[in-house]
Structure 1
Amino acid sequence: MKKIILILMLAFWCTNYMNAQEWGLDFDEAQKIAKDEDKHIILVFAGSDWCAPCIKLEKQILETEEFKESVKNDYVLIKADFPRKKKNQLPESLQNQNKKLAEKYNKSGGFPLVVVLDKNGKKMGETGYKNISPNSYLDILNKMIK
């Protein structure tokens, strides 16, 4: 009986984990998914190894199951990371993509910057780090698309 309960719990956990939205790195792929599924895009500009507010935003909001579960039906998630430490450097192709994205969507160079785009890449709005709950943060993002 214990084995059956354990298997059921594991199956439930795996199903929920697999349904949660994950962060992508390829903007073209994210835009294709957004078009195919009629979703908006959340594009996050971050400095994962040097920007304290970026790290807080990620831990307190973006990486929570609460946030990822809430956005999975309406958004495609993508990060444009700009690490500074040599050991954390991205492949050159991702660095080039992220620079182009920053030139288009983050002209001010602010970090973190969370940009909401429509499925065609049109900017709907932007915000930065806020010390609020994941659901309150999502409310801000959702207002940008209405």
Structure 2
Amino acid sequence: MRKIISIITLMLMSMSSLTAQEWLTNFNEAKDIASNTNKNIVLVFAGSDWCAPCIKLERQILNTEKFLKYAKENYILVKADFPRKRKNQLPENLQEQNKQLAEAYNKSGGFPLVVMLDKEGKKLGEIGYKKVTPDAYIEILNKMIR
């Protein structure tokens, strides 16, 4: 019985990963994919283990099925995380990349910050946390493109 439950769980997990877009952490890889697919980049600056509004944004919007399904078809998702707890620290190369991204796209140092970029990395607009539906958030992001 345990084997059957385990197999079903694995199947469901693999099926859900087919519909959800993966969050990338390598910005150069994201730009390459965006260029090849002609999609804009959604770059999210977050403090995953200390920033309450960041955590709310992820739970209420960015990690919802509605947002992820839409994003898979329309955006390339990139997360620049800045965790503070020692156990959550990122590898040095990723920390350095995220620092450079913040210098280029988040000079104010605000968290969370969602930046819409074109496929070349040109900034089109930005937004922070808003207590809205995933549909309303998508609409706000799409207005940056037009």
Using structure 2 for the length normalisation, give the TM-score: 0.89
SS class of match (1:41): strand
CA shift digits 1:56-115 (9 cap, x unpaired): 000110011110001111100000000001110000000000000000000000000000
The correspondence of residues 1-146 of structure 1 with structure 2, limited to 5 A, is 14-15=14-15, 17-146=17-146
Gaps in structure 2 of 5+ consecutive residues: 1-9
Tell me the distance in 2 between the aligned counterparts of 1:87 and 1:98: 18
Partner letter of residue 51 of structure 1? C
Gaps in structure 1 of 5+ consecutive residues: 1-9
User: What is the Cα deviation at residue 19 of structure 1?
Assistant: 2.8
Partner letter of residue 96 of structure 1? E
Tell me the distance in 2 between the aligned counterparts of 1:14 and 1:88: 25
Query: Relative to structure 2, which stretch is displaced further, 11-20 or 115-124?
Result: 11-20
- Cα distance change on mapping 1:70 and 1:108 into 2, 3 Å: same
Percent identity between matched residues is 64
Report the equivalent of 1:7.
none
Q: How many residues align?
A: 138
Query: Relative to structure 2, which stretch is displaced further, 11-20 or 48-57?
Result: 11-20
User: What is the Cα deviation at residue 12 of structure 1?
Assistant: 8.3
User: What is the Cα deviation at residue 145 of structure 1?
Assistant: 0.3
Question: Where does structure 1 differ by over 6 angstroms across 4 or more consecutive aligned residues?
Answer: 10-13
Tell me the distance in 1 between the aligned counterparts of 2:44 and 2:30: 13
Partner letter of residue 87 of structure 1? K
Tell me the distance in 1 between the aligned counterparts of 2:134 and 2:127: 14
Partner letter of residue 73 of structure 1? E
Using structure 1 for the length normalisation, give the TM-score: 0.89
Give the CA RMSD over aligned residues: 1.7
Tell me the distance in 1 between the aligned counterparts of 2:79 and 2:11: 29
